[in-house]
């Protein structure tokens, strides 16, 4: 959520920055400003009445105690009955106004950071750097689906028998490889990057989804739990960011990492990426989440992105870092780097991590603040934190990258060295 005061005071530049995201992004701003103005008028009015009532009620109390003029007291009470009715009526209008105001506020996306390239689609994204190079193959590299099914470690037919389309079933060394990746990623982030591990609930209340920005606007992408006010998490970002909802934090930065499965309806993506492990209703992810001061957040975004990249480096995977343009960044994000891994079987770079700075957009929704250190003296007011998160990494897609990049002519797959300790020393996945 944006700061209503900032919108009010800089309407023109806010509008322009929102429009750089695309056509609809600045929609509703005029109505918003009208509601904001109306709200303050009503507030002033009703608060004056409440102040009057408070004063008079005190007076009534005193008069009754002193057993003073009963008629005069009765008159005051009668008068206040009228005031009370008035207050009630205005309060109702005010509540409606505020509901509408919030409704609009919750659907306005974040302002892109000034360093974000302006553009309409992924065509305009900016490649920042490319690490490693494409592996050479003496044969035509296969896609992960063919490799995995031939090795007996991936079984899409049975997955769909169990759960329908867009689910996966891993078996044997495939299942173990997935588990090895999760542990490897967590260990690197915990031991070498200083993150604290979190294992959160996989279904959380709707207010958490509002906090991080998935609701109300992206309701159709979420799996709702029948009968209660909860949803399956689409990313660990939701529960982990909301850990500190409505809190005032002392020490920043806070760095969390969490493995969770992620559940997404992938509404609107029908026909895209239908094959294999790329786009599923359920997949595993290791997430990185940071709470930082506003001053440090962009530095911390670079660091978090580097932490995610480190996984790719240690696995020996070829990838590039892309800055998403204004038209391509997510709703809540001010700036996003995508890590795209090279998939030789598909002959393309494919997103495997998305690292974003949300600035105070989520913090305002979720009321996550900190108390700035004051070198001076007296206590300072709480300030909204900045939140940052990124995949470190998407596990299923990492498994895809390993199968496709380390496949051999004979159909086997070499296990990256760093994973071998997690695979009981296994060096190669072969047909059983």
Partner RNA sequence: GGAGAGGUGGCCGAGCGGUUGAAGGCAGCUGCCUGCUAAGCAGUUGUAGGGGUUAAACUCUACCGGGGGUUCGAAUCCCCCCCUCUCCGCCA
* Residues labelled catalytic: 264, 279, 351, 354, 397
Packed helices 395-405 and 173-187: angle between N→C axes, nearest 10 degrees: 120
Identify the CA nearest to 349 among candidates 400, 314, 308.
400
Segment contacting RNA by CB under 7 A, of 36-44, 117-125, 211-219, 350-358: 36-44
61: contact with RNA by CB under 7 A: yes
* 235-to-218, 221, 390 alpha-carbon distances in Å: 14, 12, 10
Contact 216, 106 (CB under 8 A): yes
Q: Which of 33, 38, 57, 219 binds RNA (CB under 7 A)?
A: 57
- CA-based end-to-end distance of the chain: 53
Q: Which of 56, 90, 169, 243 binds RNA (CB under 7 A)?
A: 56
Segment contacting RNA by CB under 7 A, of 78-86, 120-128, 136-144, 231-239: 78-86
Residue 84 or 132 having the CB closest to RNA: 84
Measured from the CB of residue 53, what is the shortest distance to RNA in angstroms? Answer: 5
Structure-token pair, residue 84? 């009370």
54: contact with RNA by CB under 7 A: yes
Residue 208 or 278 having the CB closest to RNA: 208
Q: Which of 50, 179, 245, 265 binds RNA (CB under 7 A)?
A: 50
Q: Which of 34, 51, 127, 267 binds RNA (CB under 7 A)?
A: 51
192: Cβ contacts below 8 Å, ≥ 6 apart: 310
379: contact with RNA by CB under 7 A: yes
**Total chain residues near RNA (CB under 7 A):** 31
Q: Is cis: bond before 253, omega within 30 of 0?
A: yes
Measured from the CB of residue 363, what is the shortest distance to RNA in angstroms? Answer: 11
Q: Which of 43, 102, 150, 190 binds RNA (CB under 7 A)?
A: 43
Segment contacting RNA by CB under 7 A, of 258-266, 332-340, 343-351, 373-381: 373-381
Q: How far apart are CA 348 and CA 35, in angstroms?
A: 48
Structure-token pair, residue 349? 């770079």
Q: How far apart are CA 236 and CA 219, in angstroms?
A: 17
Residue 58 or 373 having the CB closest to RNA: 58
3-state secondary structure of 52: helix
Residue 131 or 367 having the CB closest to RNA: 367
Contact 341, 401 (CB under 8 A): yes
């Amino acid at each position: 959520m944006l700061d209503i005061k900032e919108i009010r005071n800089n309407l023109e530049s806010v509008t322009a920055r929102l429009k750089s995201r695309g056509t609809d992004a600045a929609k509703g701003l005029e109505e918003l400003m009208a509601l904001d103005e109306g709200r303050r008028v009503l507030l002033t009015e009703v608060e004056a009445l409440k102040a009057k009532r408070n004063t008079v009620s005190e007076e009534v109390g005193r008069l009754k105690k002193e057993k003073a003029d009963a008629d005069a007291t009765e008159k005051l009470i009668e008068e206040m009955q009228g005031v009370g009715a008035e207050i009630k009526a205005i309060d109702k209008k005010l509540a409606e106004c505020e509901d509408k105001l919030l409704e609009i506020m919750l659907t306005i996306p974040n302002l892109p950071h000034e360093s974000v390239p302006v553009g309409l689609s992924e065509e305009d994204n900016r490649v920042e750097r490319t690490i490693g190079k494409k592996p050479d193959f003496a044969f035509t590299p296969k896609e992960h689906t063919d490799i995995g099914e031939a090795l007996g470690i991936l079984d899409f037919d049975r997955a769909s028998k169990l759960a329908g389309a867009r689910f996966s079933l891993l078996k044997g060394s495939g299942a173990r490889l997935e588990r090895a990746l999760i542990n490897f990623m967590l260990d690197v982030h915990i031991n070498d990057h200083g993150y604290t591990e979190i294992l959160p609930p996989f279904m959380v209340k709707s207010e958490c989804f509002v906090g991080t920005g998935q609701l109300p606007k992206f309701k159709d992408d979420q799996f709702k739990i029948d009968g209660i006010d909860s949803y399956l998490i689409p990313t660990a970002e939701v529960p982990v960011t909301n850990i500190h909802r409505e809190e005032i934090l002392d020490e920043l930065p806070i760095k969390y990492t969490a493995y969770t499965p992620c559940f997404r309806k992938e509404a609107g993506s029908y026909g895209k990426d239908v094959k294999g492990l790329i786009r599923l209703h359920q997949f595993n992810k290791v997430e990185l989440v940071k709470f930082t001061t506003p001053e440090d957040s962009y530095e911390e975004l670079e660091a978090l992105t580097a932490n995610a990249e480190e996984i790719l480096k240690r696995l020996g995977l070829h990838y590039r870092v892309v800055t998403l343009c204004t038209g391509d960044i997510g709703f809540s994000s001010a700036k996003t780097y995508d890590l795209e891994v090279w998939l030789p079987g598909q002959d393309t770079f494919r997103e495997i991590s998305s690292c974003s700075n949300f600035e105070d957009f989520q913090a305002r929704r979720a009321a996550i603040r900190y108390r700035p250190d004051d070198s001076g003296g007296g206590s300072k007011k709480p300030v909204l934190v900045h939140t940052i998160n990124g995949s470190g990494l998407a596990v299923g897609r990492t498994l895809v990258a390993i199968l496709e990049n380390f496949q051999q002519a004979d159909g086997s797959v070499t296990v990256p060295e760093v994973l071998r300790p997690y695979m009981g020393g296994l060096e190669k996945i072969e047909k059983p």
